[in-house]
Amino acid sequence: MRISNTSYMSIKVSFTAAEEEAIIRARFLTGASVSRGAPPFQKLLKRFVELVDKVENGSKEASEDALKALLREITVIELQASKYQAIGVAQKKEQEIYVDKQRLLQEHIEQAKRDIEDKKKELQEARIVRQHMEEYEVLRGMICELPARSVTQAEIDRINKHMERIEAEGLKHAAIMEKKRKQYALLFHVLDELQRLPDDPDQLDTAVHAPESTDIATVGQNAMEVDT
């Protein structure tokens, strides 16, 4: 919707019906609306004075001519009054049109403000979505740098098998260590028994042929298996 400068000024500088009527009356009475010649009511007054003079001092024909001149002036004034009245009506309608246009323009302005606010909200939401997309893109790049799931699963399976082998070897070594611990304990027992043997040869011979000596010999034989 486009409003010309004249229309804009009409909207800004508007008059009420009473004010317009007062302006028209002032122009009409002072002759401000006449570009040249005497003001209308001055001419009318002049014709009326001439008519009175002709009626009192002149002939009938002169009086009739003066009356006709007065009637012409009255007709001119009536035409001008009708013209000003029509102008007033037209201006009033034009003013109403301008008021409607101004109201419509204000509604468009308010709608434009609401649209701007909606666009601001959409822009803010779009910025948030864009930020999320950028974050997703960074995460996608990080994920792409990682190996495939099949490769990772294969590596996990390999590590699990390696751990199972280590556990099996650990159990095997634990069993061996337990066996060696028992053998060393037996060896220390044999050494302790040997230290208890007498130093006298006769007593030593008797002790050797004793039943306990047979057990000591057997224990010593088993203890010798530590290094085998």
Q: What is the pLDDT of residues 184-223, one digit of tens each?
A: 999 888 888 888 876 655 655 555 555 554 454 554 555 4
Reported as a single tens digit per residue, the pLDDT across 104-136 is 999 999 999 999 999 999 999 999 999 999 999
Domain count, the chain: 2
Are 132 and 178 within one domain?
A: no
Alpha-carbon distance of 156 to 147, in angstroms, equals 12
pLDDT score of 7 more than 60? no
Residue range(s) defining the domain that contains residue 55: 5-144
- Among the listed residues 106, 112, 93, 124, the one whose alpha carbon sits nearest the alpha carbon of residue 17: 93
162 occurs within a structural domain: no
CA distances in angstroms from 97 to 3, 11, 85, listed in the order given: 11, 10, 18
How much is the pLDDT for 226? 46
Are 178 and 140 within one domain?
A: no
Are 82 and 179 within one domain?
A: no
Are 89 and 196 within one domain?
A: no
How much is the pLDDT for 218? 54
Where a domain ends, among 75, 110, 144?
144
3-state secondary structure of 192: helix
150 occurs within a structural domain: no
115 occurs within a structural domain: yes
Distance of CA 133 to the CA centre of its chain: 15
In contact, 80 and 28? CB cutoff 8 Å = yes
Where a domain ends, among 144, 162, 196?
144
pTM greater than 0.75 (yes/no): no
